[in-house]
Chains A and B, each alone.
Chain A
Amino acid sequence: MVEHGDIRVVHCGGSKINFRDPVITHDSRFLLCASGEAVKVFSTSTEECIHELRGHTGLVTGVLLRPSNHLQVYSSSLDGTLRLWDFTDGILIKTCVIGYPIYSFYASDKHENVIFIVASMPKRFQLVAVHLPQSGDQMVEAQELSAVLSGVNPNPAAIAFGRGGEFIASVNDLQLEVYFFKKQKSYRFFLKEDNKKGGWNTFTCVACHPKDDCIATGHEDGKIRLWRNFNHKKEYTYSTLHWHHSTVSSLCFTPEGTNLLSGGVESVLVQWRYNQESERDFLPRLGGAITHITVSPDGSLFCTSHSDNKITIIQSCVKVSAVIQGLVKGDSIRTDLMMDPRSKALVLNGKPGHLQFYSLQRDKLLYNLDIVQQEYIHESGLQQFEVVKAAFDASGSWLATVEERHQKAAELELNLKLWAFDEQTQSFVLNTTISAPHDAQITAMCFCQPTDSQTTLLVSTSKDGHFKAWQLAAPAHTEGPSWLCDFVSAYHGLVPECCSFSADGSLLAVVFQEVVTVWSPSTWELLTTLSQPPGAVSDLCFGRLSCSKYLLGTTASNLLCWNLLTCSLEWTTSMDVRRLVADPLSENMAAFCYQSGSTDLFVFKPSEPRPLFSHKAVCSGKVTQAVFAPREEMLESCEESSQWLNRSQLYFLTQQMDLMTFTTKAEEDRLLASSKQLVIDDSVAMTPFYLLLGKHRQQQQEHQDSDSSLWAERTALPQTSASMKELLQTPAHVLPSTSYLCSMFVQSLLISVSDARSAHAEEEMESEKEEEDSEEEMESSRSKPELAAAAATESDTPALTKAQARELRRVRKLDHSWLAGLLDS
C-alpha cells in the first residue's frame, strides 16, 4: 500500500460563508466574506461569486475594509497572518506575519496603520494593537505589538470601536469594558449573574453608535441594553429594549446612527429607531437564525448572515434583494449523500424539512425542495418534522423521502412521500403521501434500478421487523397513478437493517441483523440466505458490471464478500468499515474504515485481491456519508492509481460537516489554468446570461471597432499602443510614481513618421489578405440557391454598391466546373 502523492484530499466548496460577518464595499457592489481558507467576493446585485482571494493557509477569521483605502481589504487567519488584498482584481498586495493565530481583528480611521487583533496569548485571549510596518515588501513581519485589553472574547461581535475610534468596547461574559484611548483608561461595568425573573444577563454582542457615546449590547435573554454616560464609574446608565425572546446574536448601527439593527434565532431583522425605541420595524421570515448583521458604508444595503449558510442582502430594510446561499449544513445530515441522476446535483438535508440540491461543479445551491411542507418554528428545543431518508430511482424521475417527528411523550410520526419529476416545472411534485408506512422507524429504503423495466419498485425496511415493497399502482378513476404497498414480509421476527437491489434489479438483498436474505422481486420468493461470521451486517452493496455476481457487506469488524453464484463467502478481511460506496459507472467500491481516531479509505474491485487505491487518514473522525459523483467528462488518466477517479469523483462528509473530495494533480492543474482564463475585468458577474449576451456584445463591439477603424484610422493609433493600455488599466496603487510615468506616456504619444507609414502599409496589406481569406472560406460554404438570389438582386439594382461589386468580383473568380459536371449528368 503506497501513498499516492498526486491524489489529494481537498475541500470542495460548500464551506461556511456565515462564519464571520461579511463586508460590503463602499460602492455597495461587492460583498466580501470569509469562506474556509479563502475570501469570496460576491456581487451584491447578481449573487455570483466573482472571485476568490486565496492565499491563507488557515481558516480566515475576518475581513475588513482598509480604512485608509476603500479599494483594499484586510483579511486575518488562524495561520497568523494578515493579508492586504485588492479585491477588484483579486491581487494579494501584502502579507503581514503576526505569529499568533488571529481570532478576530478590528481597525478604525483614527488609528492609522494600527490593527487590533484578538490573539490567544497564554491562558487567555488578548486584544493586541499591531503597528503595521511601513515597508514596500510583499512579506513583512509585525514587530510592534502592544496589549490593549486582556481577557476578551474571541467572538468578533464582542468588541466594537466607538465614535470615531475614541474608545473600544469589549464584552465578555457579564462584563462590559470600555477603554478610552486618549485617557488610556478603562471602565468596567458588571451585570448581575442572573436576576430572579430567569433572565440571563450574559453579554453576547456589542455595537457602538457612530456619532453619540452610546453602546448597545445584546444579551442571552434577548434584551438589548443601551449604555450611556459610561465615562463615569458610577453614574453610568442604561436603558433596556426587549423584543427578542432568545439570545441577541448580532447588533449593528446604521452609518448615520439613526437606526439600530438586531437579530437572533427568531430570524427576524428588527430595526429600532435610535432615541425612539418604541418604534421599530421588522423584517420577518428571513429563513434561518441571524448570526451577523452588516450595513454597507452608505447605509443602503443591509446584509444578514444566517445559520443555514446563507447571506441575505436587504435593500433599505424592506426588500430582500439577493440571497447568497452556500451548502446548508445543519447539525447533522441524516439522509445519505445522493446524486440526483438528472441534474447531477448532490442531494442532502438542507434547511430544516428540506432537501437541498447542490451543484458540485459550480459550488452553488440549486434549490431547496420543501419535503415537510410545514412552517418551521425557530425555537430551540422543539421537536419538528425532519427528513431522515431519501432515495432516487435510476432515472431520476422518482424521489422517495421519509420524514419523522419523535416527541418524547407522543408516539412516532412517520410519513413516506413519493415525488414525481415534473418535466414542465423541472422540479419534483408530490405524488403520494403515505402516513405511517411502518410502525417504527424506517431503517433503509431503496429503489429497484432495472435498466428496462417499466415498473418501479421501492423497498423500505423498518425497525418493526418488516420490509415492504411499494409499487406504482394503475391510475384509479381520474387521478394519476399513486403508490401502493405491494408486498410485506418479515424474517423470523428479526429487524431488517438495510436493503439493496442488484444492478439489474433481479435480486433484492435484505439484511436481518446477522442474516442476509436474497429475494426475487418478481415472485417475492426467498431465494437464499447467506451466512457469515457473527456480527450484524450494517451495510450492503451489490457489485456492478463485471463484478455483479458479488455481494458485499460490512459488519462491525469485517468486510465480507459473497459470491452469489456459489452462495458462499468469497473472501473476508478484517477492518472496521463505516461506509461502503459503490461507483455506479465502474466496478469500483470505496470503503471508509475508522481506525484510531481517523478514517482511512480503500478503493477496490470485489474481484481483485489488491486495493486499487488506499489513503491513510483522509480526515479525523468518522465518515458516515460518501457518494460517487459521475464526472461530466471523463478524465484521461493513465496512471493506475488514479484511474478510479476517471469516470466519477468521490465526495464525503467529515464529522465536522466539511464536504471533501479527491483530486488528481492533472485535474488541479487544469482547473488552475481554467480559472486564470476566467478572470473577468468587468465587474459584471459571470453568469450564463452574461456569457450569452456578452459574446453577442463583444462581437458587436468588434464590429464597431473595425468599422471605426475604417472610418478614422488616424485617431485609432495611440489607443492601440500596448503601453498605454497597460498604463490605463493597471490599478493606480501598483503603478510607479507619475513623474516617472509621464515621460513614458509622452514618448508613447510621439510616433516617428516612417514607423507610422510602414505600419499603415502593413495593416492595409493584412486587411487585404484577410479579405481574400474570407472569400476563400465563403467559396466552400456558399450554395446554389443563394447564388441565384444574388443574381436576382443584381438584375434588380443597376447601381452597384461597393460590397456588391466585391461580390461580383468574387463570383467571377468562382470555379464553375461543378456546374459543367451537373450539366453533363
Chain B
Amino acid sequence: MGEFKVHRVRFFDYMPSAIRTMAFNSQTERLAVARADGAVEIFNFNDNFFQEKVIPGQDGRATEALCWVGHRLFSAGLNGEITEYDLENLRPQYTVDAYGGPIWTISSNSQGTQLAVGCEDGTVKIFAILEERIQFQRNLNRHKGRIISLCWHPSSAQIAAGMTDMIKIFDAETGHATRRLLVDRAMGASKNKEVVVWSVGYLSDHTIISGDSAGKVQIWNGLTGTLVRTYLVTKWDVLVLSVSKDESSVIAGTSEGTVIQFQFISSTVDQHDKEWVRTRTFRNHSHDVSALAHTDTAVVSGGMDTQLVVRPLLDKVEKNTQESALRKIAFPHRSLVGCAKKAGLLLFQFPDRLELWKLGESEGHVCLMYPYFVCRFLQGEDHICCSALSACGGWLAYSTVSSVRLYRIQYNNTISINKVGTLARACSRQPVHLLCASDDGKWLATANTDCEIHIYNLHKMKLHCMVPVYNSCPTTIAIHPVTNNLISVHADQQIFEFSLVQKEYTQWSRRLQAQGLLSLWLERDTPITHITFNPKNPDHIILHDTYMFCIIDQSLPFPELNAVLWNQMTLKSLPVSQRIGQSHAFKICKSFQHLMCVSLLEDLSLVVVERPLLDIMSQLPAPVRQKKFAT
C-alpha cells in the first residue's frame, strides 16, 4: 500500500474532564453524562453507544446532578441553579435559582410531575414541572444539615433524603419527616467524623438502600425504620448507588474504583423469601466511581478517571456476542484536531482554547525543523463546540453555543489575525453534528442525529438531495475530491459511498453491502471519526478510529468474510504470487494507538496525532490509597 513519512504528534495534551454524574433514560435508551467542566454528553445506547450530542460547558457551572423527565433533561449544580437543556440546540434553555444555596441532588417522581432538589441549607424543595418551565411549589420541613441525596418512592408519596449521619423519610403530601434512620459512623479513629449518606435508593417494597462515607451499604426497612443488613464494602466512601428497573439488583460505586453488585435472590432454590446478597465486584476504574447507571443489561460507570465504562451483565446478554464485550469510552466521538493539508498546520481544540501548531520537517533521520507552537486562541466563559481550519491554513473558524467566529490568518513574518464576521446560526429540528464541503466548493453535506444526511449545492444555494436514511447515526462524512462521492461511516461501523451526481449508492457500496463487512471490522468498539483521501491515488480512503487506521483500496476485492488477515511480516515472507492473492481492500495499521487524528498532507506525509491513555492517567490526581498485595 505504500510507505509514508509519518509525523507522529504527541504534543496534543488533551485532557478529558472527570465524569461527575450520569442519568439514564430507559425509554429513549439515552445516557446523559455530566462532566466536571459542566459539559453534558448524550450517548445513544441503541446505536452502539454513540456520543450523539455534546452540550459544551461553561466556566463556573459545575453540574452536581442530572435528571431525565421524559425527554427533558434537568441538571442542578453547586451554583444553586436548576438548568433545563435544549437538546435540539444543544444549549441550556433556562436556569432557575432555587434560593437554597448549593444544590446537591435533584430527583423527579415517577409520574414526572414534580422535581425535588436537596439544598445546602437543609431544605428539600419541590418544583412542579410545567410545559415549558418549572415552578417552585413548596418546601418540605427544613432540617439542620445539608441534603446530600434524594430518592422518591415509586408511588411518589414519600421521599428519602440522605443527610449527614442520618436518612430522613418525608411525606411528600404533608412535608413532614416521618422517619429518621440514624447511620452509624465509621469504626476506629474516624469515630468522631460525621458520616455522609452519599446516595439513597427507595424501592417499591419500602426498602431503603443507602451508601455512605464510612464505606457501608445498608439496607433498611422503610416502614419500620429498622436496619436490615449492613455490608461493609470499602474502607473509603460509597459514592453512588443505582437500582435496576426491576429492583432485583443494586450497584454501588466506591472511592476505590470498584463497583459492587447486590442482588435480591432467594437463599434456597424453592422458597420465595429473598434477601439482598452481595455478589459481583467490577473493577474497571482506577479512581472514584462517582457516577453509575444500571441499565437492563449493563452496568455503566464513570468517575474521576474520565472514562465511561459499559460493563454488560453476562446473565442478561447473550454470551460471546458484541453485546457482551466490555466497552471503555475514553475519547469523544468526534474529531478535535483540524489539519491544514497544504500548510502543514494542526489545530487542536480544547474546551476553552484553540492551539495552532506547525509541523516539523526532516530529511532522512536529520531533523530540519522541529514542530513549533504558532498561536493560541483563548475563548471566554462559553466553551468551544467545534472548530475547523482551511486546507491552506489561511482560515480558521470555531463556534460556541452563542456564536460562530471566523479568522483570517496571515503568515508573513508576523502573524495577524483578523476577525471577518460572525454568522447567525440557522435553526433545524435536530442539530447538525457533521458538516463537510467538497474541495471544489460545489457541495456541502450535513448530517444530523436523526441519521439524515442532506446534500446542498452551494452554487445554486439549495438542497440537492437527501441520502437514504440509514438506522445508525453517521459518525463521519466526507466528499471525495475527485469523484465527488460522499463517503459516510456509521455508528454500527457500516461504510456507504453515495454518488452525488447520480444520487444513488455507488457500485462499490452495493458490492460492499452485498458481501458484508468482516466481523473483525464490525467488532471494533470506537467509531470512525475522520476520513481523508490520498491526493495521488483516488482509490485510497484513509479512515481511523481510536485504535487503528485503515486504508481502503477501492480497486481491490473485498476479503472473504471468514478470511484470516495476515500481518505485513507474514505477507512479506510469502511468494509474490500468493501475496497478490492475499491482497484485499482493507489495510489496517495498529502501530499507533489512541489516535486523535490521521491525515494525509499534500506531500504524502502522514500526520498521526496520538494521545496515549497513560499520559492522561498520569495527569490524574492520585487515587485513594489501597493496600496492594506484596507491597
Residues of A at under 8 Å CB distance from B? Answer: 163, 166, 180, 211-214, 228-229, 231-232, 234-240, 245, 275-279
Contacts and interface: CB of A to CB of B under 8 A. Distances in A.
Given A229-B265, A237-B263, 16 more contacts: A180-B269, A211-B267, A212-B268, A213-B268, A228-B265, A228-B277, A229-B266, A237-B315, A238-B280, A239-B279, A245-B630, A275-B229, A275-B277, A276-B232, A278-B233, A279-B232
Contact of A213 (B267, B278, B629): B267
Contacts of B281: 239-240
Given A237-B263, A240-B280, A278-B233, A231 B269 contact: yes
22 contacts: A166-B269, A180-B269, A211-B268, A212-B267, A213-B267, A213-B268, A229-B265, A231-B269, A235-B315, A236-B315, A237-B263, A237-B265, A237-B280, A237-B315, A238-B279, A238-B280, A239-B277, A240-B280, A275-B277, A276-B231, A278-B232, A278-B233
A383 B132 CA distance: 76
A239 B315 contact: no
A166 B629 CA distance: 39
Contacts of A238: 279-280
A228 B279 contact: yes
Nearest to A279: B232
Interface in B214-265: 229, 231-233, 261, 263, 265
A277 B278 contact: yes
A245 B315 contact: no
Interface of B: 229, 231-233, 261, 263, 265-269, 277-281, 315-316, 629-630
Contacts of B229: 275
A214 B278 CA distance: 12
A227 B76 CA distance: 41
A365 to B, nearest CB: 34
Contacts of B629: 245
B268 A163 contact: yes
A236 B229 CA distance: 22
A211 B277 CA distance: 15
Contacts of A163: 268
Q: Would you list the 6 A-B pairs with minimal beta carbon distance, nearest first? A: A212-B267, A237-B279, A239-B279, A235-B315, A278-B232, A231-B269
Contacts of A234: 315-316
Contacts, number: 52
B280 A239 contact: yes
A239 B267 contact: no
A682 B3 CA distance: 93
Contacts of B269: 166, 180, 213, 231
Contacts of A239: 277-281
Contacts of B232: 276, 278-279
Nearest to A228: B265
Contacts of A211: 267-268
A211 B263 CA distance: 19
Of A163, A180, A213, A231, most buried by chain B (CB within 10 Å of CB) is A213
B581 to A, nearest CB: 35
A240 to B, nearest CB: 6
A231 to B, nearest CB: 5
A598 B44 CA distance: 74
Contacts of A228: 263, 265, 277, 279
A214 B267 CA distance: 8
Contacts of B267: 211-214
Contacts of B277: 228, 239, 275
Contacts of A245: 629-630
Contacts of B261: 237
A213 B281 CA distance: 20
A116 B263 CA distance: 34
A180 B261 CA distance: 27
Of B265, B316, B629, most buried by chain A (CB within 10 Å of CB) is B265
Nearest to A214: B267
A130 B277 CA distance: 37
Contacts of A213: 266-269
Nearest to B317: A234
A235 B313 CA distance: 10
Contacts of B316: 234
Nearest to B283: A197
B214 to A, nearest CB: 13
A275 B277 CA distance: 7
A593 B281 CA distance: 60
Nearest to A166: B269
B20 to A, nearest CB: 28
A652 B630 CA distance: 43
Nearest to A178: B269
Nearest to A278: B232
Nearest to B268: A213
A657 B281 CA distance: 45
Nearest to B265: A229
A248 to B, nearest CB: 15
B59 to A, nearest CB: 40
Contacts of A180: 269
B278 to A, nearest CB: 6
B228 to A, nearest CB: 12
A378 to B, nearest CB: 14
Nearest to B248: A235
Nearest to A227: B279
A298 B526 CA distance: 58
B559 to A, nearest CB: 28
Nearest to B276: A275
A236 B265 CA distance: 10
Contacts of B265: 228-229, 237
Contacts of B233: 278
B286 to A, nearest CB: 14
Contacts of B263: 228-229, 237
B217 to A, nearest CB: 11
A231 B271 CA distance: 12
A239 B278 CA distance: 7
B263 to A, nearest CB: 6
Contacts of A235: 315
Contacts of A236: 315
A211 B268 CA distance: 8
Of B229, B281, B315, most buried by chain A (CB within 10 Å of CB) is B315
Contacts of A277: 278
A411 B415 CA distance: 69
A276 B279 CA distance: 12
Contacts of B266: 213, 229
Contacts of A212: 267-268
Contacts of B268: 163, 211-213
Nearest to A180: B269
Contacts of A275: 229, 277-278
Of B263, B266, B268, B316, most buried by chain A (CB within 10 Å of CB) is B268
A240 B279 CA distance: 7
A269 to B, nearest CB: 19
A237 B244 CA distance: 16
A450 to B, nearest CB: 54
A212 B269 CA distance: 8
Contacts of A276: 231-232
B314 to A, nearest CB: 8
B15 to A, nearest CB: 27
A245 B629 CA distance: 8
A198 B267 CA distance: 32
Nearest to A163: B268
Contacts of B280: 237-240
Contacts of A240: 280-281
A619 B531 CA distance: 77
A232 B266 CA distance: 12
Nearest to B267: A212
B107 to A, nearest CB: 28
Contacts of A229: 263, 265-266
Contacts of A278: 231-233
A240 B261 CA distance: 11
A128 B280 CA distance: 34
A164 to B, nearest CB: 10
